[in-house]
Structure 1
C-alpha cells in the first residue's frame, strides 16, 4: 500500500488531559482502550495518561506527569532527556533535539529512529509545562510510515497549546 501524502491526512483540533491542552490530532484516531493500554504497557514502569491511535499502527501518547515544570525548566528537561535518551537508545538514529518556541511557549523535543522488536520505529517526543506539571507527548510509527507521518508529527507538535488558566 502506497503512503498517502501528508497533505491528505486531515488534522482536527482536540482538547486533551481534561481540557489542559489543545492540539491537532489526525482525524479518525481513537482513544486506545484501557485493556489495550494495559496490554501494551504491561512491562512499562509508567503508562501514558491517554493514547490516540489508528488501529495501533500509529500512536500519539500523552503523559501528564507529577513532575513540576515551568517555562524556565523546559531547557533543563530538554538537556536531561537528550542525555538520558541518547544513553538509553545507543542504536538510535538521531534527527534532532532541543527547544522550540511554539505559540509563545517553550517546547522541548527529541526526534529519532530506534530499533524495537525487530524493526525500526520513528519517534518524536515533545514536552512542555502545563499548569505547573510536565506534559510529555510521544508520536510513534513504523519506519516504513515515516515519509507519510513525519510531517504530520511535526504539525501536531507545532499545534500544541497549553491552557495556562489556573484550576485543575
Structure 2
C-alpha cells in the first residue's frame, strides 16, 4: 500500500490509485465519524462522497502530508455540519458506539441518550478524541482552539456524563 507520505505525494501528482488507497485507509474512520453526526445512511453516504470529491479536488492545498487523516476528517465534518444545517437534523448516535464488551441493550440506549444530551462542542470533542482518534494537539489544530480548551471540553463532557448518567459506574471504562 505504501507509506502515507508517499501515497499523498503520488496523489498530489495526479495518481488516482494512490488517492483511492489513501481514502481506503481512512474509510472506516470517515464512516464512523459521519454516522455519528448524521441521522441516516443516505446522508452519511452523501457527506462521505462530497468530502472525498472535495478532498480530491483540493488535495494540492494540503500543506503537511502526514496530516491527511486530520485534513480529510475536517472536510467530512464540515460537509456533515453543512448537511445538518441544511436539513435541520439532530445528531444521532448509532448502537455500534458501545464497546463490544457491553451487550446489554439498556446500556446501549442509555449511553446513546447520554451522548446525545451533550451540547455540540462536548459531543464533537468526544467524537474526535474517541472515534476519530485525534490527540489533543491534533484536535487543537483541527478546531483552531487552544489545547487547554480541548482538554477542558473532554473533561467537562466526562464529568457531565458521570454526574448525570453514570453515578457509581465510572465513565473511565470507555477511555482509550
TM-score if structure 1 supplies the norm length?
0.25
Q: Which structure features the higher share of helix residues?
A: 2
Q: Which structure features the higher share of strand residues?
A: 1
- Between structure 1 and structure 2, the one with the greater Rg is 2
